[in-house]
Structure 1
Amino acid sequence: MAATRQIDWTAAMHAVAADRAKRPAGLLAARSLIAATSAKRRPLVVAGAYDRAAIMSAAIAAARIHQGRTDSTWGEALSVTLKATWQLAKAARTAKAH
């Protein structure tokens, strides 16, 4: 006799959505740190275009602080701060467009 397995699709889809919705540790703190320091010294958006050098330098500076606070690896810290920096840059570009 063959065994059949049933899948609860509703529970499975809720689990998938919950996995996507998680924020990396320290993302909000990194965003506020970048907004308070690096983004004010050197704008992330110049003439409607992203200043990638400013974005990278802001993310690296914040990653050093983030790594010290969370004891994470360099890759994890840079990933979190790059996400935060790009969020700020996109918001700044949208704000300047309107």
Structure 2
Amino acid sequence: MAAIRQIDWTAAMHAVAADRAKRPAGLLAARGLIAATSAKRRPLVVAGEYDRAAIMAAAVAAARVHQARTGSTWGEAMSVTLKATWQLARAARTARAH
């Protein structure tokens, strides 16, 4: 008797998609905080180019707030806020291009 494994590919693909769709905790709050504070003081995009220093400064400031709110590690807080800051920078660059 041969050993046969059957895989439910539909369920497997749904599980993979569900894992990818998860947002890190606090991503939307971090994006709102950055948009309301840091991005207004110092633009993230200057002359169509990303201002990496401004992006990093905004992410660090937001990470401090994020870490205080959630009690996460510094690495997790920076990961979330850098993702949020780059999303805002890409959106700003696209908006200026059109």
* TM interval, short-chain normalised: over 0.9
Q: Does 1:36 align with 2:40?
A: no
What displacement does 1:18 show?
A: 0.6
Paired position in structure 1 for 2:81: 81
SS of the counterpart of 2:6? coil
In 2, distance between residues paired with 1:46 and 1:5? 56
Paired position in structure 2 for 1:46: 46
Paired position in structure 1 for 2:56: 56
Q: Which runs of 5+ in 1 are unaligned?
A: none
What displacement does 1:3 show?
A: 2.2
CA-to-aligned-CA distance 1:29-64 (integer Å, 9 cap, x gap): 000000000000000000000000000000000000
What displacement does 1:5 show?
A: 1.1
Q: Percent identity?
A: 89
Paired position in structure 2 for 1:15: 15
SS of the counterpart of 2:60? helix
In 1, distance between residues paired with 2:80 and 2:40? 19
Q: TM-score, normalised by structure 2?
A: 0.98
Paired position in structure 2 for 1:94: 94
SS of the counterpart of 2:3? coil
Task: Give 4+ residue runs of structure 1 displaced > 2 Å after superposition.
Answer: none
